[in-house]
Each structure stands twice: as structure tokens, then as C-alpha cells.
Structure 1
Amino acid sequence: MRRTNEERSRTTRHELVEAARRLFAEQGYAGTSLAQIAAAAGITTGAVYHHWENKQELFYAVVEQVHADLHRVLRSRSGGTGAPSDRLKASGSIFLRRCADPAVGRILLVDGPSVLGQERWRNLDEQWWREPTVALLREAGSSGGGVEELAVALLGSLTALGQEIAGAPGPARIRRCQQVYRTLVDAVSGQAN
């Protein structure tokens, strides 16, 4: 059966994003060229430019994919039942453990802010995580104008702790960072009630 142009285009985009994700995780953004990505995907460099204007836009697509993958993992593993604070702690712990993987830590937290710029990177991060965090805080009983700020504080702490892990991963560091985050959630949950 013959594939349509749209199907071929979607397949090419997927292959390029997968190859870029592997190389950005292994070599970092600065150490990876579009030619290397094209070669790893078995596609011409011209095909890359057909889909993205430049390497930064391809990187943005990779960051979006990493967020989407994390979102699926966190929804499936942190559970939809239980106390909101427990769900916040579970999802934060999973995220922090994932930060030891260069495909998450290096792409999202090390290269992401510098390549995309702080504002664009933060806007993308918030598109994925702010509303679910606000919803859990409200479910925990937090109300009023402080809910948005509490969500930002929790997300900011996850980012900072994740950067610590991405910079020097190891089981002991992951456990310490997870404990710090659980302590923060407990403190916020106490404030929320």
C-alpha cells in the first residue's frame, strides 16, 4: 500500500526528532550538527530544513517530545487516586529520577533554557505542568490568589533539583533531592489546608 505524502512527512519528522533526541542527549546541543542528525536518521540535510528552519526549532520539537513522554509516564505511574499531596510527591519523585537520564536532564534542564531562551523555555514548561499542579493544589484545599504562586514555587523547586541531578546524577543525590521535594510538598500541603 502506498503511503501518502503526509504520512511520509510525518514519518520523516518522527525519525529526525528521534535521532536529534539521541544525539542531543549524548553530545549536547552545541556538540550536535544538523548534518549529524540527518545522517543518524538516514535522511538528507535538506529534508531537515524542509521541516524546520534551523537546529533551534528542531531542538524545540525534541523538548516538546520529552515533555509529552514525561507527561505520559507521570500520568500512568503517579496514579489518579490518593491524596493530592501524595500524587504531587509521586510525580515529583518520578520526574527527579528521570532527570538522571540525559534525554531528560540534559535536554530539558541544561540545554533547554540556554538554547530556547529563558522565557520560551519556561512558557513551554508551564504549558505542560502548571495547570495539573494548580489542579492538585486546589484539590488539596488550597484556594485564593496563592495557588498559582504555590504551583510556580513547586515547579521551580523541581527544576532546580532536577538540574542538580542532571549535573551530577547518582542514586544518593536522587534520593536527597526527592526527600527535599517531598518535604516541600508537605510544607505546602500544610499551608493549603
Structure 2
Amino acid sequence: MKKRKYEAEQTKQTIVEGAKALFAAKGYAATSMMDICEATGCSKGSIYHHFQSKEDLFLYLAEQAFTNSWQTWHEQSGGDHSATEQLYAYADYFVDTLQKPLNKAGEEFMIRVGADSEAGRRFMEIIQNYMKGFEDLVQAGLDSGEWKGESVQELSFIILSYYSGLSDSYHLMDKAAMKELFRKATTLLLDGIRK
């Protein structure tokens, strides 16, 4: 029984890794279940045994990516650092994880399924859970009196949008230059929200 369970987990992992590579390379819409079968060597039946649909498979990947990303950040940022120090560290982490393979596919996924669909709502819930973690960092900055702001959600959204906009330049410079750009941008941002 244990061997069968292990083999099932291995098959699922093969499907997940193959699908992730395809979604990253081709996008969500251009990746078919047949493509995933060919890339993984798994039958459609095997894929549907683990995932109800292509949407379900993509949502699984998104949840893994966002949960793992936040857990990794949380482990790296631990300690008694001020919110300002943590924001600088988060900016470095953001640069370190810039080439997130599912970002563009996630945007396409939402356009394809629509925000009002069950899949769209599930995807937004994954994003909101990630945002909640970042909001805790921003709330710490507000609570400690380091930063000013009226709404933790609004300020969190502004900061993450700011970093996302900067990340569009990552093809134009190396990682060290990007980190320096993000550090300067963080200083500029903090000049606006520091008390």
C-alpha cells in the first residue's frame, strides 16, 4: 500500500512539474491537457485522477507558489527587525524571486476564467492570503509608529504594485543593479510614509 501511495505522489509531482514548465513557457491558454500528457508521459486519466481540470491544476500550482513564497520570506525575515528593515529585506527578496514562472500565466488565467467564476474566486483567495501576510508587515510599521497611513490594505497594495512595476525592468539589468534600484525605490517610498 505504501508503495502505491508513493508512486501516486511521484506521478502527481511529475504532472505538477511538467505543467508548471508548460504554463511558464506557453501560457495558460496555449497549454492543453494533451501537451501536459506529452510532457509528463502521463495519461489524461492519470492527470484527471489527481486534478479535476486544467483550472484545478493551475490553481494547485498557484497555491503552492504563493504559499511557498510567503513561507520562505517569513523564514528569511524572522527576528526582531523593525518594519523598515523588513521592508528593505523584502525588496531584496522580491528581486531574488523576480522570475516567477507563473506570473504572466496567472494574469492570463484570470482573464480567461473571469473574476466571478469559481476558479477566479479561488485564485483571488490565494492572492488575498498572500496579501494578508504582507499586510501584517505593513501593520507592524503602522503600529510601531514607523510609518503613516490610513489603510493597511491600501498601503500594502500600493507598495506591492510599486515593486511589481519596477520588476518589469528585470531584463534590462543584472540582479545586483536591480537590488540597488529596489533599495533606492524603497528609500523613496519610505520618505513618503515615514512619520
The answer on whether the counterparts of 2:28 and 2:108 sit within 8 Å (CA) in structure 1 is no
Residue 136 to residue 4, structure 1, CA distance change in 2 (3 Å) = same
**Of residues 87, 103, 109 in structure 2, which corresponds to 1:115?**
109
Between Structure 1 and Structure 2, how many residues are aligned?
A: 181
Q: Secondary structure at the match of 1:32?
A: coil
Residue 86 to residue 165, structure 1, CA distance change in 2 (3 Å) = same
Q: Residue 161 of structure 1 aligns with which residue?
A: 166
Q: Residue 124 of structure 1 aligns with which residue?
A: 126
Q: Residue 134 of structure 1 aligns with which residue?
A: 135
Q: Residue 96 of structure 1 aligns with which residue?
A: 95
What is the deviation of 1:28? 2.8
Q: What letter corresponds to residue 115 of structure 1 in structure 2?
A: F
Q: Residue 47 of structure 2 aligns with which residue?
A: 48
For 1:1-193, list aligned pairs within 5 A: 2-3=2-3, 5=5, 7-99=6-98, 101=99, 104=100, 106-108=101-103, 110-117=104-111, 119=115, 120=120, 121-128=123-130, 130-142=131-143, 145-162=150-167, 164-165=168-169, 168=171, 170-171=173-174, 172-173=177-178, 175-188=180-193, 190=194, 193=195
Q: Secondary structure at the match of 1:140?
A: helix
Q: Distance in 2 between matches of 1:144 and 1:175?
A: 26
What is the deviation of 1:9? 4.0
The answer on whether the counterparts of 1:96 and 1:165 sit within 8 Å (CA) in structure 2 is no
Percentage identity across paired residues of the two chains: 23
What is the deviation of 1:156? 2.3
Q: What letter corresponds to residue 170 of structure 1 in structure 2?
A: M
Unaligned runs of 5+ in 2: none
What is the deviation of 1:69? 2.4
Q: What letter corresponds to residue 102 of structure 2 in structure 1?
A: I
Q: Distance in 2 between matches of 1:159 and 1:122?
A: 17
Q: What letter corresponds to residue 152 of structure 1 in structure 2?
A: F
What is the deviation of 1:186? 4.6
Residue 177 to residue 139, structure 1, CA distance change in 2 (3 Å) = closer
What is the deviation of 1:144? 7.8
Q: What letter corresponds to residue 91 of structure 2 in structure 1?
A: G
The answer on whether the counterparts of 1:89 and 1:185 sit within 8 Å (CA) in structure 2 is no
What is the deviation of 1:122? 4.2
Unaligned runs of 5+ in 1: none
The answer on whether the counterparts of 1:63 and 1:107 sit within 8 Å (CA) in structure 2 is yes
Q: Distance in 2 between matches of 1:122 and 1:174?
A: 29
